[in-house]
Amino acid sequence: MSSASDREQAEAHLRAAGLKVTVPRIAVLDAVTGHGHLDADAVHARVASDHPSVSLQSVYNVLGDLSAVGLLRRIAPAGSPALYESRIGDNHHHVVCTRCHAVEDIDCVIGEPPCLIPADTGGFAIHTAEVTFWGLCGDCRRAVADLERLAPADAG
């Protein structure tokens, strides 16, 4: 799913960030782009299918570097390993399923960050606000409903 121009864009981004253009970096960018929220292992798996010689360590290095320069975004919901996504530059948030840890993007109802300015910053110089919603994804909702039909919580 990667065209020549994708690759050229990736190269340009890397150079703009002062990073050398290397096989692992291009491969990681390509693996993450448009594939939702992937952990290091999943990225490695995708990368390895095209470039088996790229090590998991390199994937960790690259993911760290790319996140540091802003070419990827890293999220780390409680209970999940770090996840990486290519959707950057907007300030979207995430829903995480409390049951299966599936992650989806969420746009806040309020485009601008209004609730992202706290009443009292406690002496901190705040530069980022991160919102994580927790809930049940569609599949798990159905699964839970089925379970409760079989074993009701209370016999009212």
**Closer residue to a second copy, CB minimum distance, 21 or 81:** 81
Question: What residue type is assigned to position 151 of the chain?
Answer: A
d(CA 33, CA 66): 12
Q: Residue 21 in contact with residue 66, Cβ under 8 Å? A: no
What Cα–Cα distance (Å) separates residue 4 from each residue in 49, 57, 128?
19, 27, 35
Decide if 32 contacts 41 (C-beta within 8 A). Answer: no
Q: Where on the chain is the footprint of DNA (CB under 7 A)?
A: 15, 18-25, 39-41, 53-58, 60-62, 64-65, 76, 81-82
Q: DSSP assignment of 102-114, as one string?
A: -EEEE--SSSS-S
- Round to whole Å and give the CA distance between 78 and 130: 13
Closer residue to DNA, CB minimum distance, 6 or 65: 65
Query: CB-wise, 117 or 134, nearer to DNA?
Result: 134
One residue of 95, 143, 155, 156 binding a second copy per CB under 8 A: 95
Nearer to DNA, 4 or 125 (CB): 4
Binding mask 25-54 for a second copy (x = CB under 8 A): ------------------------------
Please list every residue from 104 through 143 that binds a second copy, using CB under 8 A: 104-110, 113-138, 141
Residue 127 interacting partner from a second copy, DNA, none (CB closer than 5 to 8 Å by kind): a second copy
- Rounded to 5 degrees, φ, ψ at 11 are -60, -45
Binding site for a second copy (CB under 8 A): 74-76, 78-79, 82, 93, 95, 97-98, 104-110, 113-138, 141
